[in-house]
Amino acid sequence: MFEPYARLAERALRDEPPSTEECLRLLDGDDVALLPLLHAAFVPRERHFGRKVMVHVLNNVQNGLCPEDCGYCSQSKASTAAIRKYPMKSEAEILAEAARAALAGATRYCMVLSGRGPSLATTRHLADLVRKVKERHPIEVCLSVGLLGEEHARILADAGLDRLNHNLNTSERHYAAICSTHTFRDRVETLRAAKKCGIEPCSGLIVGMGEESRDVVDVAFELRGLEVPSIPVNFLVPIEGNPVQSDGSLAPERALRVLAMMRLVNPRAEVRVSAGREGHLRALGALALWPANSLFVEGYLTTRGDAVNDTYRMIEDAGFEVDGNPEYDALRAREAAPKSGFRLAGGEGEILRPEVRRA
The answer to whether residue 313 is catalytic is no
The answer to whether residue 202 is catalytic is yes
- How far apart CA 233 and CA 204 sit, in angstroms, is 6
Per annotation, catalytic residue among 66, 108, 179, 257: 66
Q: How far is CA 6 from the centre of its chain?
A: 27
The answer to whether residue 23 is catalytic is no
Within 10 angstroms of residue 156's Cβ, the number of other Cβ atoms is 25
Q: Which distant-in-sequence residues (6+ apart) come within 8 Å of 21 by Cβ?
A: none
Per annotation, catalytic residue among 23, 73, 179, 197: 73
From the list 243, 309, 238, 223, the residue with the least C-alpha distance to 275 is 238
From the list 287, 237, 238, 236, the residue with the least C-alpha distance to 259 is 287
Residues 168 and 223 sit within 8 Å (Cβ to Cβ): yes
Residues 88 and 356 sit within 8 Å (Cβ to Cβ): no
Per annotation, catalytic residue among 23, 154, 202, 254: 202
Per annotation, catalytic residue among 23, 45, 108, 110: 110
Cα→Cα distances 220→136, 167, 332, Å: 36, 12, 37
Per annotation, catalytic residue among 142, 163, 197, 263: 142
- How far apart CA 354 and CA 359 sit, in angstroms, is 9
- How far apart CA 157 and CA 72 sit, in angstroms, is 29
3-state secondary structure of 73: coil
- How far apart CA 12 and CA 17 sit, in angstroms, is 6
The answer to whether residue 142 is catalytic is yes
Q: Which distant-in-sequence residues (6+ apart) come within 8 Å of 156 by Cβ?
A: 123, 126, 127, 130, 143, 148, 164, 197, 199
Sign of the torsion formed by the C-alpha atoms of 187, 191, 194 and 196: negative
Per annotation, catalytic residue among 108, 187, 224, 272: 272
Q: Which distant-in-sequence residues (6+ apart) come within 8 Å of 123 by Cβ?
A: 145, 148, 152, 155, 156
The answer to whether residue 272 is catalytic is yes
Per annotation, catalytic residue among 23, 45, 70, 257: 70
- Residues forming the active site: 66, 70, 73, 110, 142, 202, 272
